[in-house]
Amino acid sequence: MQVYISVDMEGVAGIATLDQILRGGFGYGRAQELMTEETNAAIAGSFDGGATSVVVNDSHGTMDNLLHDRLDPRARLVFGSPKAQCMAEGLTAESDVALFVGYHAPAGAPGVLAHTFSAYFGEVRIDGRRVSEAEVNGLYAASLGVPVGLVTGDDVISGIASSAFPGARIVTVKTAHGFSAANTIAPSAARAAIRLAAAAAVRGAAGLARPEPPTALDMEIDMPSPVAAELAAGIPGCVRTSDRTIATTVSASEALGLITVLYELAAAGERTRVAIATRR
Positions marked catalytic: 115
Asked if 66 contacts 79 with a C-beta cutoff of 8 angstroms, the reply is yes
Q: How many CB atoms lie within 10 A of CB 138?
A: 26
Q: Per-residue DSSP letters for 158-219?
A: HHHHHHHSTT-EEEEEEEESSTT-EEE--HHHHHHHHHHHHHHHHHTGGGS--PPPPS-EEE
CA distances in angstroms from 142 to 15, 101, 131, 204, 269, listed in the order given:
29, 18, 16, 17, 32
Query: What does the radius of gyration of the chain's CA atoms come to, in whole angstroms?
Result: 18
Element spanning 236, H or E: none
Q: Which amino acid is at 130?
A: R
Q: Which amino acid is at 246?
A: I
Strand order in the sheet with 75-78: 75-78, 53-58, 2-7, 97-103, 148-154, 169-176, 182-184
